[in-house]
Amino acid sequence: MKIQSAQVEIRTKGFTDIINITNEVHHFISKNDCHEGQLLVFIDGSTASVSSIEYEPGLLRDLPELLEKYIPMDNRYHHDDTWHDGNGYAHLRSTLIGTSMTIPVLNGRVMLGTWQQIILIDFDNKPRRRNVVLQFTGN
């Protein structure tokens, strides 16, 4: 069994910026000759998430609108009282969606559905450089 790891830096705009990272994942799998196993996709921050979605204009508007309904940016959050950084909402959104996902790899292919892409979502209230960790375990 082999373990292959890499880090990919992604520049974001913040404010629920949704970035398709599927190509970076495919490149990692093919470059490292990964055949069968599991791929972990992880973001090393507490104000961002990774997930999957159909990366199309309607959903790229729908997801931020949904999150704004349930975790609005302009609410009062206790985190902001503590740190005065105004991003309490970003921490909650990240916690809700999650900072990692595991995807099966079979015959050298990431097993995604036809309309399924892997996304990084940056919720913070400023542009960031995000570090996505990719780790394959298998053959």
The CATH number of residue 115's host domain is: 2.60.120.460
Structure confidence by residue, pLDDT tens digits, 45-96: 999 999 999 999 999 999 999 999 999 999 999 999 999 999 999 999 999 9
Which pLDDT belongs to residue 113?
Answer: 96
Distant-in-sequence, close-in-space partners of 16: CB < 8 Å, separation ≥ 6? 63, 64, 67, 68, 93, 121, 122, 123
CB contact at 8 A, 86 and 22? no
Distant-in-sequence, close-in-space partners of 87: CB < 8 Å, separation ≥ 6? 47, 79, 80, 123, 124, 125
Residue 79 domain flag: no
Confidence of residue 123 (pLDDT cuts 50, 70, 90): very high
Residue 37 domain flag: yes
Stretch 25-42: mean pLDDT: 98
Residue 14 domain flag: yes
**Element holding 138 (H helix, E strand):** strand 128-138
Which residues form the domain of 50? 2-74+84-138
Residue 23 domain flag: yes
The total domain count for the chain is 1
